[in-house]
Amino acid sequence: MSGGTAEPGEVSVTFCYNDYRDLEVDEAPCVPAPGSDPGSDDWSAFEGLVAENEEDMGDVVIRQGDDVEVRVEDSLIATITNLLIAVPDLVDRRHVVIPAFQTYGYLRMDPEASDQLISGDHVPTVRVKRVGLIPGIVDLGERFCDFLEHFVAERDDYAAIIEDLRDDKLPTAQAALQRWDPHSG
């Protein structure tokens, strides 16, 4: 399950990146994450866009089919890091609370049978399938690391962030995913 379009009822977890280059608009559009090929047009669309988004603001988008969508708007680095940190707790069916970084509020995730209840400030209350959500978060972390490495790896202020994600947060989330039996809950 890569970050493309979801099959009916399938969970996808993607991100979009706010575009602050046009100062004439009231609200910055959120440009969907690029695909897997760094040489493609959707990757080249981010040249220049990343430099103008100093806080790395965007949305983490959780979708299930055509009916359910949650958009968590905040610093992508903070949100995705916190989601990766939460994976072991999600695997162990624990309640998770993720604080907002740029605004007041939180995102809450509670296990309910084979679903994960998502609620909190600035998001609708929805249920999504755990079997899609948890691997989707790990996949999101991998794609976001690739994104950061492509666009900002040479910037000193991002080197430690990328290293922390690649060497600590992502491997911990991947290990939790490996030990998880999705059929047991």
- Identify the helix (H) or strand (E) that includes residue 147: helix 130-152
pLDDT, tens digit, 9 for 90 and up, residues 54-63: 889 999 999 9
pLDDT, tens digit, 9 for 90 and up, residues 56-86: 999 999 999 999 999 999 999 999 999 999 9
pTM greater than 0.75 (yes/no): yes
pLDDT, tens digit, 9 for 90 and up, residues 107-129: 999 999 999 999 999 999 999 99
Residue among 46, 109, 117, 47 at smallest CA distance from 82: 109
Where are the chain's structural domains?
Answer: 11-179
How far apart, in whole angstroms, are the C-alpha atoms of residue 185 and residue 173? 17
Would you call 119 exposed, middle or buried from its count of C-beta atoms within 10 A (0-12, 13-18, 19+)? middle
- 3-state SS class at 138: helix
pLDDT, mean of residues 156-176: 93
CATH topology of domain 11-179: Secreted effector protein pipB2 fold (3.30.2450)
End-to-end CA distance of the chain: 19
